[in-house]
């Protein structure tokens, strides 16, 4: 129990000191810039090992699912994933990360599959916009849909009408004034939220790395 307590305090101390040094390194680059760089390099090395853990985790989740007694489509999908993982590791190991087979794998499987998901996404978004009107019909939703339609109409020439200068100008104005102002407001909130979260980590209040 005592060892666990010491480890917990030790972890918190390492996180707080490393976090504070990296933060101060940004503000005082001449004084602590080198140390900040070194600490970040250490973290990058650790991240590389975490990728291996991530692959093991992915494989173990799908192994569990593929070998589950309840037979269904998920078992097959997981088995296909595991098979693909093994084949990818073998092929990339054999031909190197930029070799012919590695590029072939990406261009033949990954890019077409991801492109088809993007196509599905377009339909899903259209459906979501229509559902928004039935679910939350108030001025903000109408403004959202109206602005999206105007921007879409102003982006490309319309069939039979060609490019309508008025719509292009409206789109330009919407993107550069109200949308930009709103985006900056949102980003300001996000930045303050990030500062608050970072400070809680530095104070040792939030410990995602364990108590």
Partner 1 sequence: MNQVLEFVEIILGLLLLVLALALTIFFWMRESNRGPGVARRLRDIPAFNRFRRAVGQSVESGKRLHISLGRGGVMDTPGGATLEGLTILDCCTRAASVSDCPPVATSGESVTAVLSQDTLRNGYASLGAERRYTPTNGRMSGFTPLSYAAGVLPDIHDEQVSASIFAGHFGSEIGLLIEAGERANGLTVAGSDSLPAQAVLYASAQEPLIGEELYAGGAYLGAGKAHIASLFMQDILRWVVIGLILLGAILKLVGVWP
Residues that bind partner 1 (CB under 8 A): 23, 26-28, 40, 43-44, 46-47, 50-55, 57-58, 60-61, 64-65, 72, 74, 77, 110, 113-114, 117-118, 120-121, 124-125, 127-129, 131-132, 135, 144, 183, 185-190, 192-203, 205-211
Nearer to partner 1, 118 or 159 (CB): 118
Nearer to partner 1, 13 or 164 (CB): 13
In the complex, least distance from residue 137 CB atom to partner 1, rounded to whole angstroms: 13
In the complex, least distance from residue 102 CB atom to partner 1, rounded to whole angstroms: 15
Helices (H) and strands (E) in the chain, counts: 8, 0
In the complex, least distance from residue 100 CB atom to partner 1, rounded to whole angstroms: 21
Nearer to partner 1, 13 or 50 (CB): 50
Alpha carbons 56 and 50: distance in angstroms, whole number: 10
Nearer to partner 1, 42 or 164 (CB): 42
* Region class of 189: left (phi > 0), else alpha (psi between -120 and 50), else beta: alpha
Nearer to partner 1, 157 or 194 (CB): 194
Nearer to partner 1, 65 or 150 (CB): 65
Could you tell me which residues come within 8 angstroms of residue 94 by beta carbon, excluding any fewer than 6 positions away? 101
In the complex, least distance from residue 169 CB atom to partner 1, rounded to whole angstroms: 22
In the complex, least distance from residue 145 CB atom to partner 1, rounded to whole angstroms: 8
In the complex, least distance from residue 70 CB atom to partner 1, rounded to whole angstroms: 9
Alpha carbons 148 and 136: distance in angstroms, whole number: 16
Alpha carbons 72 and 69: distance in angstroms, whole number: 9
């Amino acid at each position: 129990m005592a060892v666990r307590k010491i480890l917990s305090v030790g972890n918190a101390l390492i996180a707080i000191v490393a976090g504070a040094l990296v933060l101060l390194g940004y503000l005082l680059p001449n004084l602590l810039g080198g140390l900040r760089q070194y600490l970040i390099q250490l973290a990058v090395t650790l991240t590389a090992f975490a990728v291996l853990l991530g692959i093991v985790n992915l494989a173990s989740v799908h192994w569990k699912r593929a070998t589950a007694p309840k037979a269904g489509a998920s078992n097959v999908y997981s088995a296909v994933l595991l098979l693909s993982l093994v084949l990818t590791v073998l092929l990339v190991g054999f031909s190197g990360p930029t070799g012919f087979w590695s590029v072939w794998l990406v261009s033949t499987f990954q890019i077409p599959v991801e492109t088809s998901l993007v196509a599905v996404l377009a339909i899903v978004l259209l459906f979501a916009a229509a559902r928004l009107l039935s679910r939350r019909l108030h001025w903000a939703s109408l403004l959202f849909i109206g602005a999206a339609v105007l921007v879409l109409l102003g982006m490309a020439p319309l069939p039979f009408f060609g490019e309508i200068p008025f719509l292009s100008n409206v789109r330009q104005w919407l993107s550069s004034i109200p949308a930009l102002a709103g985006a900056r407001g949102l980003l300001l909130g996000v930045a303050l939220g990030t500062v608050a979260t970072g400070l809680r980590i530095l104070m040792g209040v939030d410990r995602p790395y364990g108590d």
